[in-house]
């Protein structure tokens, strides 16, 4: 990893590098406020540096399939509501499409397209034999009853069932979906398809229904595995470092828990309900229990934990070594980036920063470990779950953790190597590490006919 002086001279993936002629050929605007175009711009920038053949750049700049469905669901009050769902299949050169299903009020086509492209890159960077996909239903799962949630899930599966399958496209959990949702998903698919025993159609299932040990914590574990590899480069260890975590859902809470288990101090956490701080490190086990019972962390300061409540601005300004954004996309705007007081950012969420936010951070010499590397632990253990389902096997936790660590460490080294070889920022380096594999596979497969 280079010093801050080196970083200041590194070009960041923003509007200025949306220079690829692919944008004009496909009639895409150079709009850096659009998350899909941002991601494609950064990917094409890396592809140019790696000299990926032009026709492969064209293929990767658009998803293969964009599926949009509408379906009615009976609500508890006896009325029917119409829901909109998406499944975008970005690329399957390396294997079946793979990626989560998100239930959120702001799900839209461009985000799902962007996230599906990130999945293609993630799977390739960690060298698992999957392509990239993503899906979602525009709904607020917190406002649905358990029964409504189940009916939304089952009807969504019916709508997309012809397009998915254990050899074709394998969904998984994402924001707003849980292992229970995946259990309903698998059950519905098995009821309506010809395949009565196909748990591998979806990953992130409960362990008793074909889920893998270690899948729940996998994304958070992957962040920690990458940090273990990268922290020494800036002269830190877990035990000597402090961090703050944005988001306290599955990924944020596991990352925080594992960070503190390694001896690090998690000084500040913020979620959608509030923010809390402790200068000597928060008690993450207590915070996790509290957040489960109270559906958020607000009010934790009233427990005898020694934590104090802080404002959003104070949260972003806390001086820490590592900042872990583990919430939604595009939350780190330029204004938030200017407040941050850290040395290293580990992106546990997908695309957590805007281009202006990212540019400001790079100019200040803050190192950014990109999402396609840091957040790839979840899909990696999803791959292990799929392998176990296909082979009718159950791996123990030690094997899952060891294999995950191996994939994450190799992906981190691949990224560092590309960074040194091409003199680029970490994000571009990670894209290069991913594109090397995809370009090679296209080269040997060729383009049909």
Q: Give the interface with ligand GLU as residue ranges (CB under 6 A).
A: 98-100, 172, 174, 203-204, 350, 375, 378-379, 382
Compute the least distance from the CB of residue 46 to ligand GLU, in Å: 19
Compute the least distance from the CB of residue 178 to ligand GLU, in Å: 12
Cβ distance to ligand GLU smaller for residue 320 or 328: 328
The length of the chain in residues reads 449
Give the Å distances, CA to CA, from 186 to 180, 213, 308, 410: 10, 18, 43, 32
Cβ distance to ligand GLU smaller for residue 321 or 329: 329
Compute the least distance from the CB of residue 249 to ligand GLU, in Å: 12
Compute the least distance from the CB of residue 375 to ligand GLU, in Å: 6
Q: Are 294 and 287 in contact (CB under 8 A)?
A: no
Could you tell me which of 448, 440, 428 has the C-alpha nearest to residue 49?
Answer: 428
- In the annotation, is 205 catalytic? no
Cβ distance to ligand GLU smaller for residue 126 or 366: 126
Question: Of all helices (H) and strands (E), which one includes residue 97?
Answer: strand 97-104
Cβ distance to ligand GLU smaller for residue 179 or 350: 350
Other C-beta atoms closer than 10 Å to the C-beta of 208 total 8
* DSSP summary character for residue 79: -
What sign does the CA torsion over 144, 146, 147, 149 have? positive
Could you tell me which of 178, 175, 171, 35 has the C-alpha nearest to residue 109?
Answer: 35
Q: Are 409 and 229 in contact (CB under 8 A)?
A: yes
Compute the least distance from the CB of residue 211 to ligand GLU, in Å: 11
Cβ distance to ligand GLU smaller for residue 119 or 287: 119
Alpha helices in 274-374 (DSSP H): 284-294, 312-317, 334-339, 355-363, 371-374
Q: Which residue is nearest to ligand GLU (CB)?
A: 100
Compute the least distance from the CB of residue 145 to ligand GLU, in Å: 24
Cβ distance to ligand GLU smaller for residue 7 or 120: 120
HEC profile of 377-440: HHHHHHHHHHHHHHHCCCCCHHHHHHHHHHHHHHHHHHHHHHHHHHCCCHHHHHHHHHHHHHHH
Active-site residue, from 134, 205, 265, 343: 134
Separation of alpha carbons 203 and 208, rounded Å: 13
Catalytically active residues, by annotation = 134
């Amino acid at each position: 990893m280079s010093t801050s002086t080196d970083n200041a001279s590194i070009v960041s993936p923003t509007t200025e590098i949306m220079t690829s002629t692919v944008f004009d050929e496909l009639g895409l605007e150079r709009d850096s406020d659009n998350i899909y175009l941002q991601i494609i711009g950064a990917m094409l920038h890396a592809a140019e540096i790696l000299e990926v053949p032009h026709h492969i750049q064209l293929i990767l700049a658009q998803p293969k399939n964009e599926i949009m469905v509408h379906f009615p669901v009976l609500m508890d009050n006896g009325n029917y509501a119409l829901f909109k769902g998406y499944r975008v299949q970005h690329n399957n050169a390396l294997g079946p499409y793979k990626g989560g299903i998100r239930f959120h009020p702001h799900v839209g086509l461009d985000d799902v397209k962007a996230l599906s492209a990130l999945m293609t890159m993630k799977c390739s960077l960690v060298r698992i034999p999957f392509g990239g996909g993503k899906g979602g239903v525009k709904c607020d799962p917190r406002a649905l009853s358990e029964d409504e949630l189940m009916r939304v899930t089952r009807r969504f599966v019916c709508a997309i069932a012809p397009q998915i399958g254990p050899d074709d496209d394998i969904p998984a959990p994402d924001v707003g979906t849980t292992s229970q949702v995946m259990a309903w998903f698998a059950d519905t698919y098995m009821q309506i398809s010809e395949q009565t025993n196909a748990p591998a159609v979806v990953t992130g299932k409960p362990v008793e229904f074909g889920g893998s040990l270690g899948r729940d914590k996998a994304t958070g574990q992957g962040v920690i595995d990458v940090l273990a590899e990268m922290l020494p480069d800036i002269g830190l260890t877990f035990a000597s470092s402090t961090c703050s975590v944005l988001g306290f859902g599955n990924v944020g809470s596991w990352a925080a828990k594992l960070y503190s288990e390694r001896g690090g101090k998690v000084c500040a956490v913020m979620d959608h309900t509030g923010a809390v701080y402790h200068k000597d490190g928060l008690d993450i086990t207590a915070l996790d229990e509290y957040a489960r019972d109270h559906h958020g962390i607000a009010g934790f300061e009233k427990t005898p934990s020694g934590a104090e409540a802080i404002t959003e601005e104070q949260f972003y300004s806390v001086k820490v070594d590592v900042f872990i954004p583990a919430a939604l996309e595009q939350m780190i705007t330029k204004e938030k980036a200017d407040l941050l007081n850290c040395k290293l950012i580990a992106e546990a969420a997908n695309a957590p920063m805007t281009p202006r936010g990212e540019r400001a951070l790079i100019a200040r010499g803050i190192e950014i470990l990109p999402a396609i590397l840091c957040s790839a632990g979840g899909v990696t253990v999803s791959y292990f779950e799929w392998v176990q389902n296909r082979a009718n096997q159950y791996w123990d936790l030690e094997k899952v953790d060891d294999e995950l660590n191996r994939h994450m460490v190799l992906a981190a080294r691949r990224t560092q190597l590309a960074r040194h070889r091409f003199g680029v920022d970490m994000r571009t380096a990670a894209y290069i590490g991913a594109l090397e594999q995809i370009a090679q596979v296209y080269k040997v497969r060729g383009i049909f006919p």
